[in-house]
Amino acid sequence: MDKSWVHMDQCTKEYDDGVKAFVEHAFAYGFICGGKVKCHCSECKNLNYVNEEELYEHLICKKMMTNYKVWHLHGEKFETTASPETIVQTIDCNGNDDGGNGVESVNDGIGDDIISLL
């Protein structure tokens, strides 16, 4: 996903186009709860759920969090590694996060179950 627009001035066409593309991607591939996604503007900081219009407005008016590099809540995939273990993290619609404390072995069949869901 192109991120070149993130640090541009909010008044530029490139920034506006980037925000529009991001919002479209987030609602097509991201973690959606009740028709909303987490807002990663500099004020909400991935704590508040917003609809498409609100997300667009927040990113135009308040800009994006500067430390949100991998947009995993908005459909971007983490880089994969060759590790036989994966961290399992659960986040519910209320924002409760288990911290990714559960480590599951891919060899125990969990990986097959996850793949079948995709």
pLDDT by 10s per residue, the chain, length 118 = 777 788 889 999 999 999 999 899 889 888 888 999 999 898 998 889 999 999 999 999 998 877 665 555 555 565 544 444 444 444 556 655 554 444 444 444 444 554 445 5
| The pLDDT of residue 13 | 96
| The pLDDT of residue 94 | 60
Strand partners, 50: 37
Strand partners, 85: 105
From the list 65, 77, 66, the residue with the least C-alpha distance to 31 is: 77
DSSP 8-state code for residue 91: B
Give the model confidence (pLDDT) of 87-118 as tens digits: 444 455 665 555 444 444 444 444 455 444 55
| The pLDDT of residue 108 | 44
Using CA atoms, how far residue 84 sits from 13, 24, 87, 104, in Å, is: 44, 33, 10, 9
Amino acid letter, 22: F
Strand partners, 99: none
